[in-house]
Structure 1
């Protein structure tokens, strides 16, 4: 007895997860459609050929907007203009999107107070830019016997960031690192940066400019 070769059934699933293409004008094949005019008013149920005639009379397109309805819903519109405005909105939305980056600040269990304050300010700078921050305490050697020191340090930083940050992931131990993740607190607005005072070099340049003016110009200004 010979074994029959079993071949897998070749089914083409390409495009099964793609959005269905919008049918326009002659591509609408339903027996009947429910027509909505360009002002959003219901016109009624009719064959697509009749709806297409109405669209042509108004120099508009017949666009299927609800293919799964029974009968499908079609609307009169300028499809080219609709696609242009839709693409424009999508481009504007992409411009306004900001990529959130996960930054990391590392410390040791016995980091001194001054360094803690410096690193806390750095965390606030990251949060002001819209980024998330992983705050980590790294243990070495005998420090592994005292994880409570790392927890105490992270709790201290969390307390300093109250009102500024939200704890997205509570402190947890992973190998030789204890970490927590914080993000910008809702409603928190970072203080506006004040303009730096002019440097000595800039002030000297202004003085030189004033001294080089013609005598007549200086007299007129006075």
Structure 2
């Protein structure tokens, strides 16, 4: 803060501000969400970075200002890819393309996670008819084809507990008929009054 007397009047207080002007040639629009997670260009404020150039070559530890100059020359962005490192690792790249590829991979990962959700097909009785079994096999094949794991379950009530062996045979028969598209992830096993088996896509 500086004080300046003008024509005998009370001194004025002037607040001096440092104005930074950037000569960067490239302005890549980024969202607030991207800014909160990835620092690029002038938002990288550490004095030095470990640089990887646009070709993937290790340049080494250099001043951040020099790294920005190299990014300017290549008409690309300086992107912080490993902020936890000391010094942070930065790479010269097209940040727009980097963000697009990153989001695409995230969507594929989410899609893969969804495809592995469990579907359940219930068989009401160990004495199921051939027609009803064929109907349920169709559902199982449909779920497996969509990339889902399938739990085939069968409950035993009252005197039906005497037919556990028959129930196991039915589930094993299902596994045999699905072997062209699925493999057994869990063999038939009893849990209380329920016997279940899990299949997953090959």
Any gaps of 5 or more consecutive residues in structure 2? 1-35
Deviation at 1:54, TM superposition (A): 3.4
Any gaps of 5 or more consecutive residues in structure 1? 1-19, 187-222
CA distance in 1, matches of 2:100, 2:174: 49
- Maintained 8 Å contact 1:138/1:177: yes
Equivalent position to 2:143, from 111, 116, 126: 126
CA distance in 2, matches of 1:173, 1:134: 13
Deviation at 1:44, TM superposition (A): 4.4
Report runs of 4+ in structure 1 exceeding 6 Å deviation: none
- Maintained 8 Å contact 1:105/1:133: no
- Maintained 8 Å contact 1:24/1:62: yes
Equivalent position to 1:65, from 81, 84, 106: 81
Alignment of 1:169-188 (within 5 A): 169-184=186-201, 186=202
Is 1:162 equivalent to 2:179 in the alignment? yes
Deviation at 1:96, TM superposition (A): 5.9
Q: Match for residue 158 of structure 2?
A: 141
Q: Match for residue 50 of structure 1?
A: 66
Equivalent position to 1:24, from 29, 32, 40: 40
- Deviation per residue, 1:11-67 (Å, 9 max, x gap): xxxxxxxxx832222333333223333233444432212322333344433222233
CA distance in 1, matches of 2:52, 2:150: 51
- Maintained 8 Å contact 2:119/2:143: no
Normalising by structure 2, we get a TM-score of 0.63
Bigger proportion of residues as strand: 2
Q: Match for residue 214 of structure 1?
A: none
